[in-house]
Amino acid sequence: MVATISSPVDADLLRLRNEFVTMPGLCLTVPQTARLISVREPKASALLDALVVDGLLVRSGGGVYRRTRFG
């Protein structure tokens, strides 16, 4: 049997993902996200960008993140 080590799960990322999944109409900016989940803005930005890469969110030209139609 081979043991593999996976990267740690980011609890903040899971919480943010859950917020968008449970509230499909949620739209947030980076500062709003930082306040919502109590992190600094650079971390909030990285988390939102990770959810964009995952296909759950899209970012508008105005810097607002929302769920994709299919996310």
CA distance 22 to 31: 20
27: left (phi over 0), alpha (psi -120 to 50) or beta: beta
In the chain, which residues have pLDDT < 70? 1-9, 70-71
Structure tokens, 5: 């080590």
Structure tokens, 26: 């949620």
Q: What is the reported pLDDT for 22?
A: 94
Domains defined for the chain, CATH in brackets: 11-67 (1.10.10.10)
Q: What is the reported pLDDT for 4?
A: 53
In angstroms, the Cα distances linking 13 to 7, 9, 24, 29, 62 are 13, 8, 16, 15, 22
Q: What is the reported pLDDT for 2?
A: 60
